[in-house]
Structure 1
Amino acid sequence: MKKTILLLMLFTLSLMAEVKNEYISQELLKQNIPIVDIRTPGEWKETGLLKGAIPIMFWDAGGNYDARKFLNELHKKVDTTKPFALICHTGSRTSIVAPWLAKEFGYKVINLKGGMEYATKGLHIKTVPYRQ
């Protein structure tokens, strides 16, 4: 009986999990969906952030990460019961983190393909300076 309940819970969680892979657009920005920028502080300082973006580093400059620390910050700053988006430099890091968040926690995550590179050079979206 316990196994059946556990399987049903896991199945339900997998139904709730959702990752959308899409390019950033003006329409998306107008929806005011929280955008979590998972780049490093050095990258935030170099290029700035999208207006309203929430900087929460996942990997540091050496490629190390602390998933627990990331999740703690995410839960403090984002309502994870609602959809939110992830952005990085080109979309490669978010293409790893977004499915993990959806699968493991059932979050509805939008992976912003092309990342900041596409947002700033492709769409010419202005950034705001990063302030600690």
Structure 2
Amino acid sequence: MLTRLLGILLLTFSLGACSEPPYTSIDNAQLKTLIAQGIPLYDIRRPEEWMQTNVVEGSHKLTYVDASGRMNPAFLGRFTAEVNKNDPVILICRTGSRTRSLAHELTDMGYTKIYNVRNGITNWISEGNPVVKN
């Protein structure tokens, strides 16, 4: 009986670890499609990063965290004022790490249609996609 219970618990935990994230990760082709549909793209990097690589055309620039990893105090106020919880929104950063964290945070807050650009702007640029001056 105990062995069976342990087996069920192990299966439950292993299935939980394999579950899909509460947001959708997208590649560059999907990003182009969503932008063409008018879904807003938020570049959550810092100003110096925007200057280094420039940005995807039409990006809303809104810094999520500073270089020390502290949340920008203006971020949530502006984001929640601009994006309704049931509206689709795309997030991009340098490599996709910050946007994964933010996507989890936003879904915990009730946002339902979050798209995370897998591998961020570095992959966008490496695939030869255009950027515009910051």
Q: Give the TM-score range, shorter chain.
A: 0.7 to 0.9
- The share of aligned pairs that are identical, in percent, is 30
Which deviations, in whole Å up to 9, do the C-alpha atoms of 1:33-67 show, x marking residues without a partner? 1000010000001111100000000111222213x
Name the counterpart of 2:24. Answer: 20
Deviation, 1:80, is 4.4
1:93 aligns with 2:93: no
SS in 2 for 1:110: strand
1:126 aligns with 2:130: yes
1:52 aligns with 2:58: yes
> How many matched pairs?
111
Name the counterpart of 1:43. Answer: 49
1:77 and 1:125 map into 2 onto residues whose CA distance is 27
- Counterpart residue identity of residue 129, structure 2: I
Bigger radius of gyration among the two = 2
CA gap of 1:80–1:125, structure 2 versus 1, over 3 A, is farther
Deviation, 1:22, is 1.3
Which deviations, in whole Å up to 9, do the C-alpha atoms of 1:71-99 show, x marking residues without a partner? 11213444443100000001011011011
SS in 2 for 1:111: strand
**Structure 2: 5+ residue stretches without partners:** 1-21
Which protein, 1 or 2, shows the higher relative CO under an 8 Å CA cutoff with sep ≥ 6?
Answer: 1
- Counterpart residue identity of residue 55, structure 2: L
**Structure 1: 5+ residue stretches without partners:** 1-17
Q: Relative to structure 2, which stretch is displaced further, 96-105 or 71-80?
A: 71-80
- Counterpart residue identity of residue 105, structure 1: G
1:34 aligns with 2:30: no
2:89–2:115 Cα contact (<8 Å) kept: yes
1:118 and 1:27 map into 2 onto residues whose CA distance is 16
Q: 2:120 aligns with which of 115, 119, 122?
A: 115
Structure richer in strand, relative to its length? 1
2:85–2:110 Cα contact (<8 Å) kept: no
Name the counterpart of 1:15. Answer: none
